Amino acid sequence: MVFVIDANIYVFAFGIAKEENCKTFLKIISGHPLINSIRICRTIVEEVSSNLTQQEFREFIGFINAITIVDEDFLVPFESGSKYEWKGLKPADALIAAYCEWTGADILVTENRHFLSRQSDLPFKVLPAEKCLKFIIRSS
């Protein structure tokens, strides 16, 4: 299964803002990288990094390098981003949606209710960490 994990999940998981479900989710998913494929784009890395100190940033990069590689934003087709903007997403959210489509992601994990309310418009599932955990447990 391919997952794109939104920046808010990392921020909550690291404890910058507390949300225990996000930490549990990230621990479980990164503990099984052979079964679960995690994808991350440059924008998400930068967004998370903007909330980290230099030392924390080094740990974050170590974490990411252990589970996946970073995809550059320019790889995502521009038209795909425009399509999601036209559907009403903000430009940066539209990039994330286009990135999910480009990677063939099964699930975008996010706590962002703007995404969560658009389930039917999107070719991938959008789940908050808690529901995604339940989904993984059910399907394993």
Binding site for another protein (CB under 8 A): 7-8, 11-19, 23, 26-27, 30-34, 43, 46-47, 50-53, 55-56, 59-60, 62-63, 66-67, 73, 90-93, 95, 111-114
Looking from the CA of 17 toward its CB, the CA atoms found within 13 Å total 9
Residue 101 vs 111, nearer CB to another protein: 111
Output the smallest distance, CB 92 to another protein, in A: 4
Output the smallest distance, CB 11 to another protein, in A: 6
Output the smallest distance, CB 65 to another protein, in A: 8
Strands of 37-41's sheet in order across: 70-71, 37-41, 2-5, 107-109, 125-127
Residue 38 vs 107, nearer CB to another protein: 38
Output the smallest distance, CB 123 to another protein, in A: 21
Cβ-contact 10, 68 below 8 angstroms: no
Looking from the CA of 105 toward its CB, the CA atoms found within 13 Å total 24
**Integer Cα distance of 94 and 50 in angstroms:** 20
